[in-house]
Amino acid sequence: MPTFEIRTEVQVSPETLFDFIIRPANMQAISPPEVGMVIVDAPEILETGSKLVFKVQGYGMVQQLEHEMVLVERPRILHEKMTKGPLPKWEHQYVVEPADNGQAALINKIDFEPPGGMLGMILTADRILQQLEESYAHRSEALKKALES
């Protein structure tokens, strides 16, 4: 199963970083504009069992996705799982940990399974990984700007 992982260090406390990522509106704000993320339904602050319904654009299509928060453990872990969407499996774990000099590190780890059938010929694992690299490069920079300014 393919895995994507990226680490981003920001000059804030782990608690401040965690408080930022558990707010869906903040995650929408740091998403790349071309993804067109729009939150359809979500609580203000995510907790274990929360549902997050949002729309994104990819490959010329708008998709509505639903994620469930499997585990929210303050101030360290947010683990979400796609419950409705185009992929058979999508699990995203955010881990916040202390870093050097009072900084915090956010580790995003995504395990996924590409779709089968005709869609799988377009959405290959390599293509999804490339898109994740581009998207999370943007998110990392946007996260730093949002928290360090």
- Residue-wise pLDDT tens digits, 52-107: 999 999 877 899 999 999 999 999 999 999 999 999 999 999 999 999 888 999 99
Instruction: Say what the pLDDT of residue 118 is.
Output: 83
- Backbone φ/ψ region at 35: left (φ over 0), alpha (ψ -120 to 50), beta: alpha
Q: What domains lie within the chain, and their CATH numbers?
A: 3-148 (3.30.530.20)
Q: Using CA atoms, how far apart are residues 145 and 122, in angstroms rounded to an integer?
A: 34
Instruction: Say what the pLDDT of residue 60 is.
Output: 79
Instruction: Say what the pLDDT of residue 107 is.
Output: 98
Cβ contacts of 125 within 8 Å, gap of 6 or more: 2, 112, 114
- Backbone φ/ψ region at 136: left (φ over 0), alpha (ψ -120 to 50), beta: alpha
How much is the average pLDDT of 93-122? 93
Q: Where are the beta strands (DSSP E) in 3-130?
A: 3-10, 38-41, 51-58, 61-73, 77-84, 89-98, 104-113
How much is the average pLDDT of 22-40? 96
Task: State the pLDDT confidence band at 28, using cuts at 50, 70 and 90.
Answer: very high
Q: What secondary structure does DSSP assign to 81-116, as a single string?
A: EEEESSSSEEEEEEEEEE-GGG-EEEEEEEEEE---
How much is the average pLDDT of 38-51? 98
